Structure 1
Amino acid sequence: MLDSTTAPQIFDEEFGTHYAAFAAALLVSDIPAAVLAAARENLFDTLACAIAGSSAHGVDTVRDLVEGWGGRPEAGILCSSIRVPAHHAAWVNGMMSHARDYDDTHDAAVLHAGVSIIPAALAAAQLAPAASGADLLAGIVAGLELICRLGVSTRISIIESGLMYTSLFGYFGATAAAARVMGLDAAQTANALGIAYSQAAGTHQVTRDGASTKRMQPGFAAKAALLSVQMSLRGVQGVVRTFEGIDGLFRSYLDNRVDTGRLRQGLGQSYEMLDLSYKPYPCCRFNHPAIEAALAIRRHPGFDPARVRSAVVHLTHDAYQAVCTPEDIRHAPRTIVQAQFSIPYTVACALLDGEVALRHFTEEGIRNPDVLALAARIDGRVDAAIDQEWSRNISPAIVTVDTELGRFEHRIDYPKGHPKSRMTAADFDAKLAGCMAASGLAWPADLPRRLHAAIDGLHAAPDANTLIGLLTL
């Protein structure tokens, strides 16, 4: 039996129907300037991450597979000249955007938002030649807001549910985005969400096992979105009570531990997507507070990284489970994904090298003997006080380092990239430059300027695909 803390509120209208009406009617002229700026920022950052991800391990395999399948040349795979059916382009582009684990997070929802929404919206714009830049922007806002609202309203953690909310909620956010870009009406959009529900998935086991499918899951969501909107346009009937039905998403996946009142509250007036964070380090967001604390310690005038004996990172239970277990893997990661999800490894990089960069997450980088030797002496520990206060949010970290010269300690609550510690425009530009270099492709020197101009002018662009052309060869 559900107690009063878990019982959902009952509303006359199914949430999917409610949100579909909002998304279908959303116009750029109705969206607050700060929200439009947040959408542009997310678009810029996600595209930068896709550029870096174009050369990431495993992406070429999926890209070659899709190219071999062929089909109608509806949409482009970013950083290539390949055109394939739109759902396949969304899949590969979603994988590319997530492959480096450099993409946005919502630190309270504990999910990545843009990596399913942006690829789906871009593919939808190529399916609908009449789609304007304003349609693309409105679709991005509709998708980002839905995935963020689902995330912050969910009261069961990814560790407890075993689900990865980036991909699970991405199915619905990406579908809302694609539907708005393609001009579906409210009924068609609600139906598309129902079709997406029959495909929705996303497991946390991929991070525990360091599976390459971890980086594919947001792409699966983007792919399903394109399938769902096209089926809805052709009259395929999806479920009606997608979220709040007897066997809807909230009961079947989330044990009804969803604050349905918060889910609906202020829709169109307040925006959860304004609280998205961005990453200065290409690894799991749970690592970031510890990385910053380690970097602060390294900058201390009395600190010598060559004389570190051991270190302990104090954090929440969920963070410990995500990036400190299994302990043998986190102390000595054998794959890039395992390294991306390792507190010992990333803190060792920060202490030794004074940075955590893309170079640390390559086949060569993860075999650095000095980093691995130090990582073996760094442990995670659940801090009861932090866990009680922060629960399933991205965890603060207290890093304590013992050296031959004494003990050093530092705490970080809000790591860089959080709305309370924002990245600057220069930070984003430097990130793009690093992503361009990591791609190994010969980009025009003026690409950053042109990309900024295209995104800044998107609201007035008659054709959404001008932007896409900048990143297809």
Structure 2
Amino acid sequence: MSSATLPHASRTVPAREGPTRQVARYLAHTTYEAVPEATRETAKRLLLDGIGCLLAGTRGEPGRLAADAHAAMAGNGRGGSVNSGGPATIVINGSHAMARDAAFVNGITLYSVGVNDIHKPSGSHPGGCVIPAVLATGEWQCSSGRDMLTAMIAGYDIMGRLGRAIIPSHRNRGFHPTGTFGAFGAAAAVARLLALDDWRTASALGIAGSQAAGLKAFQSDGSLTMIFHAGRSAQNGVEAAVLAQQGFSGPHSVFEDRQGFLAATSDESRPDMLTEALGERFEVDATTFRPYYGCTLTITASGATAQIMQRRREANPEQIARITVRTHPIVEEEVGDDNPQTLLAARLSMQFNIALVVCRGDVLVGDVDDTLLHEPRLRKLLPLIQFETDDSMPRYGSVITVQFKDGSTERAEMFDPKGDPQTPMSWDDIQTKFVKLVEPLGDRPSALELVQMVRSLEHTDGPSLMARIARFADPSRRRP
């Protein structure tokens, strides 16, 4: 048999259609009109939030390192200012590359900021994986805003459903869901943008299954592989969908096979969660916006600490004797670090995030730089922050008690932070966060123009949107 006949031969469909094929059919046939208007509006707010993080990330080191690595591999040397050629924009330096590589660099840049969205049921950050893939492919394919929005919603769906199927077992085995689920989410979104049929979409998912990877070992030393996972997921998703478009096959039972993704990466799974109410319930609606710096396990503590510091505006860090944070035991296990040595370790440190709020007086929406990492006032607070673990506490809840040297105490609790689906951020909230994130890059009127462009996404297209993003990121391209 010649290699040219392999794609056709592999189109044999099993007698019983499993979850992979059902998901593929949904992805291939879902439409903009099939998504409720409220869900589309939530997706737009998430897209604006992701673009804000992408732009803010252009000021940081991880995105620059990724751009430099891409430039080196393209033969352009350090700096990445020379175009390697391609139809998609790398935002941090304005160069152009293949869509897969633009998605990689932009994914790392976006995810590096630490305030992008979180889908709590899956423990993954879909925006860091899906949005860069959609932006790069949408620019390359000249996709309509409607198609990009539909693809984004589909990508979030797959990541969220995978999490519901195998969390917590998957995470407990050491996998980082953003890296593992992200490859599938990005592949699903790009398959939808490329208008792949059922068979090719199933193959794209199958190929993504051999790319899905990401270990949580970064928590041991604060290394940058956590951020790498989002960029690689975005890149792998583009690559998987394009390979499938060309006829390259992947297993059409990648989710449910006895040697497939669920079995290989978890001890317990619920395959039915992949298809339950598929096309009726959308995981975009279950996604949390993050108004606070830090990781998902620290944001309620940051919010509760902010409430205390707002009540005691006259207080300063030197007046604090002790801070107790009551949380679920898993929180101390995962984010208990009173001596973080890198910016990423600081983001994942409960103590650092609480001390940051005490010193700043409020929670942050922006990134943290090296000057804060070793700021003396902040560092003195770290050993004063102690955990009080409680099995009855919800995983994402916190109760903060601050004891002052004068003998007084203040207490605050937070279980549903602003941004959760039950306490959503409005357009005004997201616009405020967006403007704060991008203020260092440009003027407020230009930022508001970009807000309006996303809000009316149906009336634009991929190249126009990316051109506006790139112009805002590059001072030489901004409108006077």
TM-score (norm 1): 0.90
The answer as to 2:373 corresponding to 1:366 is yes
- Shift in alpha-carbon separation, 1:241–1:370, aligned structure 2, 3 A: same
Q: Is the 8 A contact 1:38 1:273 kept in 2?
A: yes
Give the secondary-structure state (helix, strand or coil) at the position aligned to 1:399.
strand
Give the secondary-structure state (helix, strand or coil) at the position aligned to 1:245.
coil
- CA displacement, residues 108-147 of structure 1 (integer Å, 9 cap, x when unaligned): 3222111100111112223323x22221111111101111
Alignment of structure 1 residues 264-343 onto 2, 5 Å: 264-301=275-312, 304-305=315-316, 306-324=318-336, 330-343=337-350
The answer as to 2:22 corresponding to 1:15 is no
The answer as to 2:359 corresponding to 1:352 is yes
Runs of 4+ in 1 over 6 A off after TM superposition: none
Q: Is the 8 A contact 2:62 2:109 kept in 1?
A: no
> Aligned partner of 1:457: which letter?
S
Cα offset for 1:445? 4.0
The answer as to 2:453 corresponding to 1:449 is no
Cα offset for 1:444? 5.0
Cα offset for 1:313? 1.0
- Shift in alpha-carbon separation, 1:135–1:425, aligned structure 2, 3 A: closer
The answer as to 2:127 corresponding to 1:114 is yes
Gaps of 5+ in 2: 1-14, 75-83, 472-480
Q: Is the 8 A contact 1:280 1:431 kept in 2?
A: yes
The answer as to 2:425 corresponding to 1:423 is yes
Distance in 2 between residues matched to 1:122 and 1:359, nearest whole Å: 22
Give the secondary-structure state (helix, strand or coil) at the position aligned to 1:297.
helix
Distance in 2 between residues matched to 1:152 and 1:379, nearest whole Å: 32
- CA displacement, residues 92-122 of structure 1 (integer Å, 9 cap, x when unaligned): 1110110011100122322211110011111
Which residue does the alignment assign to 2:466?
468
Cα offset for 1:289? 0.7
Q: Is the 8 A contact 2:306 2:362 kept in 1?
A: yes
Distance in 1 between residues matched to 2:34 and 2:427, nearest whole Å: 26
The answer as to 2:188 corresponding to 1:176 is yes
Q: Is the 8 A contact 1:297 1:303 kept in 2?
A: no
TM-score (norm 2): 0.88
Distance in 2 between residues matched to 1:159 and 1:108, nearest whole Å: 11
Which residue does the alignment assign to 1:127?
140
> Aligned partner of 1:296: which letter?
Q
Cα offset for 1:302? 9.1
Structural RMSD (CA) = 1.9
Distance in 2 between residues matched to 1:303 and 1:287, nearest whole Å: 25
Distance in 2 between residues matched to 1:261 and 1:148, nearest whole Å: 13
Cα offset for 1:407? 2.6
Gaps of 5+ in 1: 1-10, 325-329
The answer as to 2:169 corresponding to 1:165 is no
Q: Is the 8 A contact 2:187 2:240 kept in 1?
A: yes
The answer as to 2:200 corresponding to 1:199 is no
Alignment of structure 1 residues 394-413 onto 2, 5 Å: 394-404=395-405, 405-413=407-415
Which residue does the alignment assign to 1:100?
113
Q: Is the 8 A contact 1:67 1:82 kept in 2?
A: no
Match of 2:48 among 36, 44, 47: 44
Distance in 1 between residues matched to 2:58 and 2:232, nearest whole Å: 17
Count of residue correspondences: 446
Query: Matched residues, percent identical?
Result: 25
Give the secondary-structure state (helix, strand or coil) at the position aligned to 2:326.
strand
Match of 1:246 among 258, 262, 266: 258
Give the secondary-structure state (helix, strand or coil) at the position aligned to 1:285.
coil
Which residue does the alignment assign to 2:478?
none
> Aligned partner of 1:449: which letter?
L
Cα offset for 1:258? 2.2
Q: Is the 8 A contact 2:293 2:366 kept in 1?
A: no
Distance in 2 between residues matched to 1:381 and 1:253, nearest whole Å: 32
More displaced, 313-322 or 238-247? 313-322
Distance in 2 between residues matched to 1:236 and 1:425, nearest whole Å: 42
Which residue does the alignment assign to 1:216?
228
Distance in 2 between residues matched to 1:277 and 1:19, nearest whole Å: 24
Distance in 2 between residues matched to 1:447 and 1:107, nearest whole Å: 33
Q: Is the 8 A contact 1:343 1:380 kept in 2?
A: no
Q: Is the 8 A contact 1:208 1:322 kept in 2?
A: no
Distance in 1 between residues matched to 2:178 and 2:295, nearest whole Å: 12
